[in-house]
Structure 1
């Protein structure tokens, strides 16, 4: 059994560069943080800030990395093992793009079980569909026959079916209608509590991350500009001007917000 005192994820001095010479882009620049087991950790920032690049590096999808990434105290190698993917799963931003359009929901959920040699497929699929509140009638439908929210529930179910400890969530609600976003966020909160999961959540929306997470790393131009603690009321003690602007942006478009942006310039 894993020692709960050991962080689920540790990032030490992580840098990720693309290109070379004049074309060199520092996507992630010497970033460090730790994620305690069974907590939700947020990475927030505008497009191009490096937050999704970090998530993809953890998942083994970005392999040109300097620094150190640890999973429960063990250093991650560039090639991820089957054991890694039983423990860590990713939920992508666009559920329609991440689900095979010609596979039924049943086949989508059965595939990871077959790859990892699990038996009792029927029971596992039924269980995970119940966990994400998807009625059994959807099991033999195709992704295009489901709504966006239902597709994202399938994507979450696929991530959960191997019973991982850690979910990497890449903007899991940004492709959904506003009315559906809260349902998915509440589902994720409920699943974390019921299954004792650890989350790393990427979002451009500070309000979403504050609702979901105990800690938040604010990213800008590949750098970690501020590490925030979230209190019981979902509030943070943000000090960096960039974080304050993100906070204002999360409140939506209105005259008062625009005037506050001008005040901070």
Structure 2
């Protein structure tokens, strides 16, 4: 469903040139949930933005057999939607939930808009009473459910998830993750998911790529997180670090 070949993203020029993504290649199967993990600044979110056409990139990105150019057309956005990290910033503060959810349907000239808005609100377990509220009237978890509903309303084949629960309270994170898992099972959508939390990746993804300094150092199955059988030394260090602070473990880390 997603093929990324030799993807490179560079910001700035001359002395300020930064290679955020460095010659990355990945494949994600239809219906799969694939994770991107790594430290901050490793290029994870930049890959999502390149797939969505939000940043300029070199290399080849193919979605469901169609190679994408620099500009994405309406058909692309009917197939691919994104859920951003911050539910407080990704929803227009002066638009009602009804308008937020209806706008994609208007842009893509989809009929039966009211029925679709009601159906998607039910799907994210909010219901029609939320239609005419504003984002500031919702909790963080409810806002992220609206962001998920907005991504779902066009019935895309692919959803890009950029740390979808990291801005939420721990008590709400599990609810949103379980909702996303249920949606993928029900609709068969494909997820490409960024997370710094290996526990989230183990729960949500079948496979994942470990990134460091813009490069993919390893692609592994999520079951390997439980067994600790990761090949690359940096991947093993990342797994150890995820288990909590241990001074002896941290002191033993090498600058790989």
Instruction: Compute the TM-score of the two structures, normalised by the length of structure 2.
Output: 0.95
Distance 1:235 1:162, change over 3 A: farther
* 1:181-220 matches, cutoff 5 A: 181-220=173-212
CA contact (8 A) 1:170 1:202 kept: yes
Aligned to 1:247: 239
Residue of structure 2 aligned with 1:258, choices 242, 247, 250: 247
The one-character-per-residue Cα deviations of 1:63-110 (angstroms, maximum 9, x if unpaired) are 2x1111101121111110000000000000001101000111111101
* Secondary structure, aligned partner of 1:174: coil
Query: Does structure 1 retain, via aligned residues, the 8 Å contact 2:97–2:130?
Result: yes
Residue 61 of structure 1 aligns to a residue in which SS?
A: coil
State the distance in 2 between where 1:67 and 1:39 align: 23
Name structure 1 gaps, 5 residues minimum: 1-7
Map of 1:61 onto structure 2: 54
CA–CA distance in structure 2, aligned partners of residues 260 and 12 of structure 1: 36
Judged with a 3 Å threshold, the aligned counterparts in structure 2 of structure 1 residues 20 and 216 are, in CA distance, closer, same or farther, namely same
Note closer, same or farther for the CA distance 1:75–1:235 as it changes in structure 2 (3 Å cut): farther
* Greater Cα offset, 82-91 or 129-138: 129-138
Unpaired runs of at least 5, structure 2? none
2:45: which partner in 1? 52
Tell me the number of residue pairs that the alignment of Structure 1 and Structure 2 aligns: 254
Counterparts in 2 of 1:1-265, with a 5 A limit?
A: 8-63=1-56, 65-231=57-223, 237-253=229-245, 257-265=246-254
Cα distance per residue 1:155-185 (max 9 Å; x no partner): 0000000000100000000100011111111
Structure 1 runs, 4 residues or longer, greater than 6 Å off? none
Do the aligned residues in 2 keep the contact of 1:207 with 1:247 (CA within 8 Å)? no
Question: Contact 1:43–1:51 (CA<8 Å) still a contact in 2?
Answer: yes
TM-score (norm 1): 0.92
Q: Please, which moves more after superposition, 26-35 or 229-238?
A: 229-238
Using the TM superposition, give the Cα deviation of residue 246 of structure 1 relative to its aligned residue in structure 2, in angstroms.
Answer: 1.9
